[in-house]
Amino acid sequence: MARVTLEHVTKQYEDVTAVDDMNLEIEDGEFVCLVGPSGCGKSTTMETIAGLTKPTDGTISIGELDVTKLPPKDRGVAMVFQNIALFPHMDVYDNISFGLRLRDYDTDEIDRRVERATEIVQLDGMLDRMPDEMSGGQRQRVAIARAIVRNPDVFLMDEPLANLDAKLRVHMRTELQRLHKELDTTIIYVTHDQAEAMTMSDRIAVINAGELQQIDPPLVCYNEPSNLFVAGFIGSPSMNFVEGELVDNGLQTGSFHIEFDTSSLVGVSVGDPVTLGIRPEDVYLVDRGRDIAAPTKPIPVETDVLEPMGNEVFVYLRVGDSGGRSMAEAEERGATSGPTGQLLMSLDSDTEIMEDQAVEVVLDRTNLHLFDADSGQALVHGIETLGRSGLGEGTTQTGAETDT
Amino acid sequence: MATQTESPTDDANRSPLQAWTHGVITDQEKQDRLYKALFYVAAVFFLVTTLFPFYWLLVLALTPNSSILAGDWSLPVIGLEFPHPQGFNVVAFVEVFQQVPFHLYVFNSFVLAVTTTIIVIAIASLAGYVFGRLEFPGRGPLLLGILVISYFPPAAFLIPLFDAFLGNAVVIPFLGIEVFEPPRLVNTPGAMIMPFSALFLPLSIFILMTFYGQIPDGLEDAARVEGTTRLGALVRVIIPLSAPGVATAAVLTFIAVYNEYFFSEIMALENVPQNWSPLVGGILSYQTQYTTDFNLMAAASIVGVLPMLILVVVAQEKIVSGLTAGALKE
């Protein structure tokens, strides 16, 4: 058991910076997921912790020990690989006991530990099988047993479930959580699957382009994303983004206006471009929106495509007629957010709604996010307090304006 | 395939050869038969050309030397000339060891071959690991260098090496600067093993490089995280998984050294086993200025081939898979 600390870790390949000034503090016994899109440097970060890759710069400590220059074998880490990486020429027993045999444990101790590890991963009676005689899930369990048998300080898992089929993946996910509860070891888990990250981890570290974007508990990442990237990456389907501009009494986008007291926003002033973010489940039809505490004024939209998922329906909405232009603008800026002239809304599956239907929607002010469009940094999460304190009157006033 | 349903009248217009070729092209069954026939022809050809020398050796070994020198190979009743044993002189196989200490020559070759193979595999494994699994500046030029050197004719090294192994000082040409004075290595295994190792290294490096390069990175990483060094991962994971490749490289080296004559005959100043003269030297020592015991030479050749035969039969499976395939699933 140990905490893992990365300080200013940088890894540069000839002309690519894979990891850029990464600072991470992972507590003892914590389950941390590194998530990010493909090629964002999360695996490289993991490899620097394991010692398989030497960082160009920075220090890595495990426990009290600075391990930056230590070879992998002396770091007290165990790793589970994406491609499982069992030794094909050894049977299960030899695979699991590989690390123990290297360390000259006596046979009884090895037998006892292997037995316990196989019990934990439920692999009893398979010790003399060869890896190619086993199914994917069983192999993955052997790999996990091989990792836990040495009682490592830190567990590193590099997309261990990526090569399994969907059903098995969900099953192994719960097993891993059970394992973490049982062993109480520090686990660092790399995945590009945000569902895995959300369900399993104590904290999520979102990484993009080699830089740490945010490290927080899953729900904090979900509810209070620190920037546009995290907001767009966490959550499925992802958050709606609408480009707009800060005006005297709120935010003006291409097709609608949301009013709040702009004076309390730090770092931006009237006239600055601002991106509004709203999750699909925080977009309501007008009549249903009456239940929520702080709705915005209604926005006239037209439904586009429906995606019934069974328990809910995703509805694509066309906002105003400026959609095409905003989209082009967004592309010009190279923004990663979705087309700004379109909103995604999720509804109960029993809602009666048709394609190409004109409706009005409201947004839940409590869950509105504002981002500085230039830097991408979050300005505020939830604007209901801003609205109340500053412009209690203005709601009806400007509401009338847009309604016309 | 529309021609398959042609009318029989078409066939009548063709010459027999045309009809046959047409049949082979269109009729799958005829085609298979032709391929089968061709396969047997080729197989018999290769069997005859490779096995006939052995048959010939056996015939010579079993025939008393006087009959060989008489040179009459006509078959008894028929009178046709065909190599066949004239007599059953098995004693030749015993005489081989009585006339000359042939076992010592075999031992010499065996020791030279084993030592060279061990050295070559050890060094080529390290080189193969580095070339096959690591990216570093200068990798391409170094590989090219090895390839180029492997194409130098061995004879080109002979005279300078012989000069040095005699114990003469190594001198830089034209400048006359003495670099060092090597020990006198002629008549010792060192004078043979060193050049052999150098000569057979490039081939083994290339074989092992290909094999080691195919082992997935994940396996090496896993071994290193589990507690091996890079070298440990090479020995415990990469080499066992490349067993066919290692066996191929080892057997090729072993056979080449075991059969070697050119270098060892020169580095052993007299053709006696005490000077580490090899197997072929032993076979030739049945020849004196005035007599040549062809039957003993043949018998000695057969005895000398036996260890090779055993080795190949034992390692056959691995050699074949090593020479042909090599891809490894994880």
Residues B66 and B119 in one domain: no
Closest in A47, A73, A84 to B227, CB measured: A73
Which residues on B lie below 8 Å from A103 (Cβ)? 227
Domain count, chain A: 2
Q: Which two tokens stand for residue A107?
A: 């046979």
Q: Amino acid letter at B214?
A: Q
CA distance A50 to B220: 13
**Is the domain of B108 the same as that of B64?**
no
Considering the domain architecture, whether residues A113 and A195 belong to the same structural domain is answered as yes
- Least confident range from A162-166, A369-373, B64-68, B223-227: namely A162-166
> Would B257 be classed as within a structural domain?
yes
State the helix-helix crossing angle for B190-214 and B139-150, rounded to 10 degrees. 130
CA angle in degrees (0–180, nearest 5) for A119-A121-A124 = 45
A242 sits in which H/E element: strand A240-247
Strand extents, DSSP E, B52-196: 170-171, 178-180
Q: What is the 3-state secondary structure (H, E, C) of B8-58?
A: HHHHHCCCHHHHHHHHHHHCHHHHHHHHHHHHHHHHHHHHHHHHHHHHHHH
C-beta atoms of A85 and B222 within 8 A: yes
Q: A155-180, pLDDT tens digit by residue?
A: 899 888 887 788 888 888 888 888 88
Task: Clarify whether residues A271 and A391 are in a common domain.
Answer: yes
Residues A389 and A267 in one domain: yes
Q: Name the amino acid, one letter, at A4.
A: V
For residue range B305-325, what is the model confidence (pLDDT) as tens digits? 888 888 888 877 766 665 554
CA distance B238 to chain A (A): 10
Nearest to B224 among A52, A86, A150 (CB): A52
Query: Which of A229, A256, A283 delimits the end of a domain?
Result: A229
Which tokens go with A243? 């480009």
Q: Give the span between the Cα atoms of A371 and A278, in whole angstroms.
A: 11
pLDDT of residue B322: 57
d(CA A273, CA A26): 36
Q: Which of A98, A101, A130, A142 is the best residue to mutate to test the B interface, defined by the most B CB atoms within 10 Å of its own CB?
A: A98
Of A73, A88, A150, the CB nearest to B228: A73
What is the mean predicted confidence (pLDDT) over B113-136? Answer: 94
Q: What is the CATH number of the domain that holds A346?
A: 2.40.50.140
Nearest CA in chain A to B218: A85
What residues of chain B have any CB closer than 8 angstroms to a CB in chain A?
216, 218-219, 221-229, 232, 237, 240-241, 328-330
Examine the domain organization and report whether A216 and A114 are in the same domain. Answer: yes
Is there a contact between B257 and B240 (Cβ–Cβ < 8 Å)? Answer: no
Q: Which residues of chain A are within 8 Å of residue B330 when distances are taken between CB atoms?
A: 83-85, 88
Please report the number of interchain residue pairs, chain A to chain B, with beta-carbon separation below 8 angstroms.
69
Q: Quick one: pLDDT at residue B298?
A: 92
Confidence label for B330 from pLDDT (cuts 50, 70 and 90): very low
Q: Which residues of A make CB contacts under 8 Å with B? A: 47, 50-52, 71-73, 77-79, 81-89, 98-99, 102-103, 132, 146, 150, 156
| pLDDT-based confidence at residue B206 (cuts at 50, 70, 90) | very high
Same domain, A294 and A202: no
Taking 70 as the threshold, does the pLDDT of residue A397 lie above it? Answer: no
Closest A-chain CA to B226: A99
Q: Do A89 and B228 touch (CB under 8 A)?
A: no
Domain presence at residue B79: no
DSSP code per residue over A27-86: -TT-EEEEE-STTSSHHHHHHHHHTSS--SEEEEEETTEE-TTS-GGGTTEEEE-TT---
In terms of domains, do B61 and B190 share one? no
pLDDT given at position B139? 93
Residue of A nearest to B228 (CA): A73
Same domain, A244 and A155: no
Domain that residue B44 falls in: 2-70
In whole numbers, what is the pLDDT of chain B averaged over residues? 86
Pair B62, B111 in one domain: no
Give the residue from B70, B102, B129 where a domain finishes. Answer: B70
Average pLDDT over residues A2-19: 88
**A397 and A337 in one domain?**
yes
Whether residues A286 and A205 fall in one domain: no
To the nearest whole angstrom, how far is the Cα of A233 from the nearest Cα of chain B?
28
Interface test with chain B among A46, A79, A114, A163, by most B beta carbons within 10 Å: A79
ipTM computed for the complex: 0.76
Rounded Cα distance, B237 and B218, in Å = 11
For the stretch B7-55, pLDDT in tens is 455 556 788 888 888 888 888 888 899 999 999 999 999 999 999 999 9
Q: What pLDDT shows up at residue B30?
A: 87
Residue A69's identity, in one-letter code, is K
- What is the helix (H) or strand (E) element at residue B165, kind and residue range? helix B155-165
Residue of A nearest to B217 (CA): A85
Do the Cβ atoms of A246 and A253 come closer than 8 Å? no
**Cα(B210)–Cα(B212) distance, integer angstroms:** 6
Query: Minimal CA–CA distance to B244: which of B202, B215, B224, B201?
Result: B215
CA distance B83 to chain A (A): 50
Inter-CA distances, B205 with A291, B132, B202, B210, Å: 76, 9, 5, 9
B-interface mutation test, from A83, A146, A154, most B Cβ less than 10 A away: A83
Average pLDDT rounded to a whole number, residues A210-223: 90
Q: Cβ neighbours of residue A189 under 8 Å, at least 6 residues apart? A: A31, A32, A33, A34, A157, A160, A176, A196, A197, A200, A201
- CATH of residue B186's domain is 1.10.3720.10
B202 and B57 in a common domain:
no
How many structural domains does chain B have?
A: 2
Of A380 and B118, the structure prediction assigns the larger pLDDT to B118
Q: Same structural domain for residues B12 and B110?
A: no
Contact A102 B227 (CB under 8 A): yes
Which chain A residues touch B225 with a CB distance below 8 Å?
A: 50-52, 72-73, 77-79, 156
The boundaries of the domain holding residue A316 are: 232-403
Of A164, A196, A229, which residue constitutes the final position of a domain?
A229
Residues of chain A found within 8 Å of residue B226, distances taken between Cβ atoms: 73, 78, 98-99, 102, 146, 150
The CATH number given to whatever domain includes residue A24 is: 3.40.50.300
Q: In 3D, which of A127, A134, A180 has the Cα closest to residue A157?
A: A180
Whether residues A73 and B218 touch (CB distance < 8 A) is answered with: no
